[in-house]
């Protein structure tokens, strides 16, 4: 059990690394193409990267006479579509927010989904401990210092990223229910297809797409599609098979640290004293809200 839990944590940590470093590519791409276009193309690439593996697994299952997945067709369609729609909202809000804010700030605000996961668990009748409420309080205060200026103005990008964090919390809970029941590659492919199709449809209505812009953002699209979509989301689904949603959210929220580090090293982004205090409080709130899980092995 401990080895299984450690494996799950390593997979989730891998996803956090890829998501955190991808903030640099996501922000850099906004110099050439719109946020909806970027998401549509990168999730399409992510889906195409998963497709060969899905086909190979299906052929292997057919040769072995495995038919366990056939009765689950409705679960795949309904569950995968639900997960994809939630991810569509989260990804597009995050990408739009990155037009107005830095990669480091976006990473930390997105990390708010860690304390939000157990809070949303209240809707399912789950008990919320005092440590969780304390963590949420710290995170909210930290968000204020990180995102709200001294004149009480909230950056529009920060507000969009905050809404993204709420959607991410819902997505973690949806994946927590689906991951033990469905093949991770098939579920990932359905998610990618929903996000790609929805984003491209919205981009066609709201953005001007040019071939020159796509070429200029080629490496950002490639990194985002292969690493932060096909690989990272597959790692998340596999990891959440053996990790409680609250614990999984804590590990994955470390993407904030990698986002800040990547933003500093690549984009030369810096935090002032006020932003550093906010980031420290948010990270502290995340850890405090999960202190009980940190002191015992996940079950």
Tell me the three state secondary structure of residue 154: strand
Structure confidence at residue 71 (pLDDT): 46
Measure the CA–CA gap between 200 and 146, rounded to whole angstroms.
32
Structure confidence at residue 299 (pLDDT): 43
Angle (deg, nearest 10), helices 130-147 and 113-120: 140
Structure confidence at residue 133 (pLDDT): 72
Residue showing tokens 């157990």: 118
Query: Domain-by-domain residue ranges, the chain?
Result: 2-292
Structure confidence at residue 132 (pLDDT): 66
Measure the CA–CA gap between 183 and 8, rounded to whole angstroms.
16
The first and second tokens of residue 283, run together, are: 């990270």
Structure confidence at residue 153 (pLDDT): 63
Measure the CA–CA gap between 56 and 35, rounded to whole angstroms.
33
User: What is the CB neighbour count within 10 angstroms for residue 70?
Assistant: 8
Q: What is the pTM of this model?
A: 0.84
Mean pLDDT by 10 residues, the chain (299 residues): 78 92 92 95 96 89 63 81 96 93 83 82 66 74 71 76 93 91 92 96 93 95 95 94 81 82 84 81 74 55
122 neighbors 230 (Cβ within 8 angstroms): no
Structure confidence at residue 172 (pLDDT): 92
């Amino acid at each position: 059990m401990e080895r299984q839990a450690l494996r799950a944590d390593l997979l989730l940590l891998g996803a956090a690394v890829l998501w955190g470093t991808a903030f640099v590519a996501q922000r850099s791409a906004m110099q050439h193409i719109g946020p909806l276009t970027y998401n549509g193309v990168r999730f399409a690439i992510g889906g195409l990267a998963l497709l060969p593996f899905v086909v190979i697994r299906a052929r292997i299952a057919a040769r072995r006479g495995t038919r366990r997945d056939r009765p689950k067709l409705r679960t795949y369609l309904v569950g995968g579509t639900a997960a994809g729609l939630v991810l569509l909202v989260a990804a597009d809000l995050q990408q739009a927010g990155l037009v107005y804010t830095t990669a480091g700030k976006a990473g930390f605000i997105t990390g708010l989904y860690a304390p939000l996961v157990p809070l949303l668990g209240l809707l399912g009748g789950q008990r919320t401990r005092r440590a969780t409420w304390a963590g949420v309080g710290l995170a909210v205060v930290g968000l204020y210092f990180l995102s709200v200026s001294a004149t009480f103005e909230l950056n529009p990008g920060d507000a969009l990223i905050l809404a993204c964090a709420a959607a991410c919390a819902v997505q973690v809970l949806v994946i927590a229910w689906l991951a033990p029941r469905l093949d991770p590659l098939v579920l990932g492919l359905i998610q990618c297809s929903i996000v790609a199709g929805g984003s491209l449809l919205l981009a066609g209505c709201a953005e001007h797409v040019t071939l020159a812009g796509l070429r200029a953002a080629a490496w950002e699209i490639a990194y985002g599609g292969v690493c932060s979509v096909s690989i990272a989301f597959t790692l998340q689904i596999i990891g959440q098979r053996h990790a409680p949603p609250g614990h999984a959210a804590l590990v994955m929220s470390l993407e904030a640290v990698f986002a800040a580090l990547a933003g500093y090293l690549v984009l030369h982004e810096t935090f002032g004293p006020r932003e550093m205090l906010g980031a420290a409080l948010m990270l502290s709130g995340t850890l405090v809200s999960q202190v009980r899980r940190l002191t015992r092995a996940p079950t």
